[in-house]
Amino acid sequence: MTVLNKVESETAAPETATAARHSPLEHRAAELERRSTSGARGVRLHEEPFLSQINLRTPPGGVESSAVSDSLGLPLPTVNRVSGDEHHAVLWLGPDESLIVAPDGRAEHLLRTVRDAQRGGSGSAVDVSANRTTLRLSGPAAREVLEKLCSLDLHPRSFGPGDCAQTLLGRVIVVLWQLDREPGYRIMVRCSFADYLVDLLLDAMAEFLDG
Amino acid sequence: MVADGNTPAPPERLWRNPEPKRNYDVVIVGAGGHGLATAYYLARNHGITDIAVVERGWLAGGNMARNTTIIRSNYLLDASAALYDHALRLWEELPEELEYEFHFSQRGVLNLAHTEQEVRDARRRAFANELNGVDAEWLTPDEIAEVCPILDTSPNLRYPVLGATYQRRAGIAKHDLVAWGLARKCDEMGVDFIQNREVTGFLTDEDRVVGVRTDKGDIGAGRVGLAAAGRTTLLTDTLGLRLPLQSHPLQAMATEILEPVHPCVVMSNHVHVYTSQAHKGELVLGAGIDTHNGYAQRGSVHVVENQLAAAVELFPVFARAHLLRTWAGTVDVTPDASPIIGPTPYENLFVNCGWGTGGFKATPGAGWVFAHTIATGAPHPLNEPYGMERFTTGALIDEHGAAAVAH
Amino acid sequence: MLLVRCPWCGDRDEAEFRYGGQADVDYPADPHQLDDAAWGEYLFVRANPLGSFNERWVHTAGCRRWFSLVRDTATNEMSPDIPRRRESR
């Protein structure tokens, strides 16, 4: 089999392509809504589809990293941390690897910005928006739900807002990102594993259904 | 077929506990199944009875006490089929020969195929088995359901059962009783079992081994045979002899005692399950090795978890059973998943090792060919391909690649 | 269950890692100079000690970096030192 590597088109995708998009979990939106609860022991789950995601490789501490950082208007994150907020963030993935996360539709602009900053140096920037979808889990019981699936210590003393980790939930690799103290989390998961992860999360949420 | 209540009452004494002599014609290191069978066939086939079997713990207390007792011979490669089927034929005659009922139950083994590729591989193996005179049948899911009704053969599984090879002559045996039966006969023929004595190295005269060092004094030996499984390299390292072995934890587990529900042995390489129901009634399941090297005789929980998840998917009734015990042994794994049986560069030192996860089924066969190797100084035709030189010549017996073996 | 210290991400459950065997086994400087026995030894033979073992792990479910640590193969105790950060090859 021959695989041809095609240079990515710089032109914007036509409107019709956007209209035809389907997110991996859209068929479960009503179910997620129904199984979410509010109150003192409530927990909510919904999909945040189509977030723009750029995988960034930059030699740590080099001129490239400060150029990239300047272009984004954000410092590159330190270990296991997130720089920025939920609308514009850079997540630490590894010693020379980060993930830029922004709202839908920002990928192309971000890609151009970062590649301009990297020009002449080493590193790479790749649009991986289609790689993962994002789940948002929030509410007072959110941490208890996650703890059933995750071996990390998620107690506030060791994992809090602005922390992120690549880890396992059940048997799936995810990027786990705590957004705020409520607590609210983003869970970024590969599209083909998303259904399985939702099954796990809904099962873990079941005890909180009747608040 | 399962619990029959006919287990013989343990006699007062099956073997003596003698003080070791200063010298023996042969010293075997390790009183597990293979060490016992080697001593037995040295005496029976070669008339050598001046033997000490030296054991660091108690007789049959290592992997012999920890395995899942599966016996089968449906291997793909010629060298494997020959060796394992020789062992199976010996199993068939051994209870009578030892005058000891060790519950060898030929209840059959199903090796499941879950993908189209596995179906092709399994059928190829069944054809190869037939050519080698090893009994093998190919069963469809409906036929599988007749053999083992508790197995979920519906198409709804994540990895549905698409078929299975079936070896009717395969089965299980009661491991302790096998060891005791062998030990009793060996003892009758004059073999000394020296328990609680750890061999720590060798007595050498240039490139010749003349005995063993132990934690309680030296023992002279005309020939020395290693049957020490996971601890083999600890001994060969003392000679600077480097063997291609890695020792890993291997776990198994058992439920409480249940009514007979599981009529055969079922193995699945794809989801990695192998299970049977012991004579007493426990469901016995085996896991894969823990991937890291280790001598702790203890493995990790996630390995057991994965094993149980797969088992419950295949056998929905298992969800109602309670897991009572998990344990681990230390298995020595070779790069080609086949054992090393043969002479060494040291005169009078012979090794039988590298059985990895599948040594129990070969117990009498390994003993037979290893005894021949020790007695004559040269391999038996059946273990000729199993020498350590294959890792230099490249003539590997690659059961890993050929059959994705879970033993 | 082992708790493995990734030099980048910190203490993580063993299930997040894959094992890489003995560390510091270098590719022969001049493979053509090796005879069959030496080549076979390079390919197939690794240390298998009871006790301290210098070994490779990769944090597959995390940062995906390879690193080395020292573990006791009898007790599973790991060296308290931060494992050496050795870049992937």
Does the structure show a pLDDT above 60 at B220?
yes
B111-155 tens-digit pLDDT: 999 999 999 999 999 999 999 999 999 999 999 999 999 999 999
Residue of B nearest to C39 (CA): B392
Query: Which of the four pLDDT bands, split at 50, 70 and 90, describes residue B7?
Result: low
Closest partner residue to A94 among C8, C16, C60, by Cβ?
C8
Question: CB neighbours of A130 closer than 8 A, spacing ≥ 6?
Answer: A191
B353-387 tens-digit pLDDT: 999 999 999 999 999 999 999 999 999 999 999 99
- Residues of chain B with Cβ-Cβ distance to C19 below 8 Å are 291-292
Please identify which residue in the block is written with the tokens 């053509």: C32
pLDDT at C89: 37
Record: contact C9-A93, CB cut-off 8 A:
no
Radius of gyration of chain A (CA): 18
Give the distance from residue C62's alpha carbon to the nearest chain A alpha carbon, in angstroms.
5
- Residues of chain A with Cβ-Cβ distance to C10 below 8 Å are 80
Query: Which of the four pLDDT bands, split at 50, 70 and 90, describes residue B8?
Result: low
Candidates 3.90.76.10, 3.30.1360.120, 3.40.50.180, 3.40.50.10090; correct CATH number of A24-49+131-208? 3.30.1360.120
A74-94 tens-digit pLDDT: 999 999 999 999 999 999 999
Q: Token pair of A60, please?
A: 């740590």
- Residues of chain B with Cβ-Cβ distance to C15 below 8 Å are 300, 302
Record: contact C65-A167, CB cut-off 8 A:
no
Residue of B nearest to C3 (CA): B300
ipTM strictly over 0.90? yes
Query: Which of the four pLDDT bands, split at 50, 70 and 90, describes residue A5?
Result: very low
Q: Token pair of B303, please?
A: 């390995």
Pick from B251, B284, B269: which is nearest to B175 by CA? B284
Average pLDDT over every residue of A34-40? 94
Pick from A3, A8, A4, A2: which is nearest to A124 by CA? A8
Does the structure show a pLDDT above 60 at C85?
no
CATH no., domain B23-68+176-244+335-403 = 3.50.50.60
Q: Token pair of A193, please?
A: 């594993």
Task: Judge contact between B335 and B244, C-beta under 8 A.
Answer: yes
Number of CB atoms found within 10 A of residue B70's CB: 22
pLDDT at A19: 67
Average pLDDT over every residue of B23-44? 98
For B57, B175, B354, C6, C82, the CA distances from B60, given in Å and listed in that order, are 9, 9, 18, 39, 41
C63 close contact with A: CB closer than 8 A: yes
pLDDT at B11: 66
Number of CB atoms found within 10 A of residue B119's CB: 15
pLDDT at A20: 83
Candidates 3.30.2270.10, 3.30.300.210, 3.40.50.720, 3.30.230.70; correct CATH number of C3-72? 3.30.2270.10
How far is Cα B77 from Cα B334, in angstroms, rounded to an integer? 16
pLDDT at B277: 98
For A48, A183, B308, C82, the CA distances from A144, given in Å and listed in that order, are 21, 10, 25, 31
Query: Which of the four pLDDT bands, split at 50, 70 and 90, describes residue B1?
Result: very low
Q: With both helix axes pointing from N to C terminus, report the angle between A63-72 and A107-118 in degrees, rounded to the nearest 10.
A: 150
Instruction: Quote the pTM value.
Output: 0.91
Question: CB neighbours of A136 closer than 8 A, spacing ≥ 6?
Answer: A44, A45, A46, A47, A48, A184, A185, A186, A187
A123-160 tens-digit pLDDT: 999 999 999 999 999 999 999 999 999 999 999 999 99
CATH no., domain A52-127 = 3.30.70.1520
SS (H, E, C) A129-175: CCCEEEEEEECCCHHHHHHCCECCCCCCCCCCCCEEEEEEECCEEEE
Give the distance from residue B12's alpha carbon to the nearest chain C alpha carbon, in angstroms.
36
Helices and strands: H and E segment counts in chain C = 1, 5
Q: Token pair of B231, please?
A: 């601890």
Give the distance from residue C76's alpha carbon to the nearest chain B alpha carbon, in angstroms.
8
Average pLDDT over every residue of A107-123? 95
Domain boundaries, chain B: 23-68+176-244+335-403, 106-169+246-333
pLDDT at C64: 95
Radius of gyration of chain B (CA): 21
Q: Token pair of B218, please?
A: 């030296």
Record: contact C45-B243, CB cut-off 8 A:
yes
Give the distance from residue A170's alpha carbon to the nearest chain C alpha carbon, in angstroms.
10
Record: contact B295-C15, CB cut-off 8 A:
no
pLDDT at C58: 97
Average pLDDT over every residue of B16-28? 97
Average pLDDT over every residue of A51-64? 93
Closest partner residue to C48 among B233, B301, B394, by Cβ?
B233
How far is Cα B223 from Cα A24, in angstroms, rounded to an integer? 67
Does the structure show a pLDDT above 60 at B404?
no
Question: CB neighbours of A5 closer than 8 A, spacing ≥ 6?
Answer: none
Residue of B nearest to C15 (CA): B302
Domain boundaries, chain C: 3-72
Residue of C nearest to A94 (CA): C63
Closest partner residue to B293 among C43, C45, C73, by Cβ?
C73
Residues facing residue B294 across a β-bridge = none
Domain boundaries, chain A: 24-49+131-208, 52-127
Dihedral sign from CA coordinates of B89, B92, B96, B98: positive
A95 close contact with C: CB closer than 8 A: yes
B312-339 tens-digit pLDDT: 999 999 999 999 999 999 999 999 999 9
C33-63 tens-digit pLDDT: 999 999 999 999 999 999 999 999 999 999 9
DSSP B283: E
A166 close contact with C: CB closer than 8 A: yes
Give the distance from residue C40's alpha carbon to the nearest chain B alpha carbon, in angstroms.
5
Record: contact C9-A166, CB cut-off 8 A:
yes
Task: Judge contact between B349 and B202, C-beta under 8 A.
Answer: yes
- In one-letter notation, the amino acid at residue B125 is R
Residue of B nearest to C35 (CA): B392
- Residues of chain B with Cβ-Cβ distance to C14 below 8 Å are 300, 302
* CATH classification (class only), B106-169+246-333: alpha beta
Interface of C with B in 19-48 (CB under 8 A): 19, 21, 36-37, 40-41, 43-46, 48
Task: Quote the percentage of chain B above a pLDDT of 70.
Answer: 96
- In one-letter notation, the amino acid at residue A89 is A
A68 three-class SS = helix
Mean predicted lDDT score pLDDT of chain B: 94
Query: Which of the four pLDDT bands, split at 50, 70 and 90, describes residue B17?
Result: very high
pLDDT at C79: 84
Instruction: List subunits contacting chain C, requiring 3 or more Cβ pairs under 8 Å.
Output: A, B
pLDDT at B10: 65
Q: Token pair of A179, please?
A: 């957004």
Does the structure show a pLDDT above 70 at C88?
no
How far is Cα A92 from Cα A165, in angstroms, rounded to an integer? 8
- Residues of chain A with Cβ-Cβ distance to C67 below 8 Å are none
Does the structure show a pLDDT above 70 at A15?
no
Closest partner residue to A93 among C15, C63, C85, by Cβ?
C63
Give the distance from residue C46's alpha carbon to the nearest chain A alpha carbon, in angstroms.
30
